[in-house]
Chains A and B, each alone.
Chain A
């Protein structure tokens, strides 16, 4: 007897490989992804990559320019700051703080935002109305200004800066999740899943969530770059990370006074922020194109 083989079709690429095929075509996005990966690796292996401790002061080498200029020395590749700290080490260790804090902020904002968004999308009436209006109020205030106000109220310092930026990011998640859920809920396949007897929870996890994932992923990358910039800005204004923490925004603000004397101390952390945000945005653009449902044949 011939055994009936079930599932013997040539393997059909899953969602991820389909996505990857499209993503690869987007040159800028691939560059963004590569750079971002390098930066993340840099953050992960800072102790190995950085030549010195970020707070170690070389009192004989104050404000040394980078190695490629005439007065530079190779021991301090990117030069030193006004206290004689090695700038390369500070920037490398700073990536830990900047990326790590942004990631933490995005995780907090995503979890709370998706929960509230799902609540608003699935519930009707008072609850939905209440959530949406609160989010509208938050959205009505410019994001950085709001973060500053929140920090001003609850006091400066890293933990408070994290809360502030997370609160600023939440409304975007709520809106996008709620809108996507509303859109999906109206579609026949959700009704069909309901008729299959799926419980509301199963409906959300099995039918709705996979379909709102693409816009959510795109939103996460956007939020990540916003978080990075906002945290740096708060650090710069002295309301986030406090010196001697080598957070990029904080390094910037401390070096600001010496912009004439030692321009590299400002330029290099500034470039670090620029490159990171740029690569995240490029990556996000590629994601959006590759995940766009309209592109599906």
Chain B
């Protein structure tokens, strides 16, 4: 029995989640009524579950050959950006209004990952100008050109 390494553990967890989703989809397909409405989902979910279980068993046995998982460095790098992006999408966009939330999220994400030094005033000025230009383009495209009415909450 080979040792369990981080990528292998990730494969087991990942394929386990997919197999659990497959099992629940299969269960719902075969138990919900009217059965005629679930004819096609039953067909699909059966194949889904078989393939998902196959992938899960392969992962458990350490036979997975594809996909490198996520390294710790990659996870540390992506975590703050992902958290900010999710807060922006699932709360701020509706709570603060699209334009306000996008301005804040754009500026934070750009500043967070910008390779330019954080201690130099010039690079902060550049970030502010870039954010303002981007928001002007977005407003022009979506509000003026496409006439999309977006949620506008606290400011505008």
A, B bound:
no
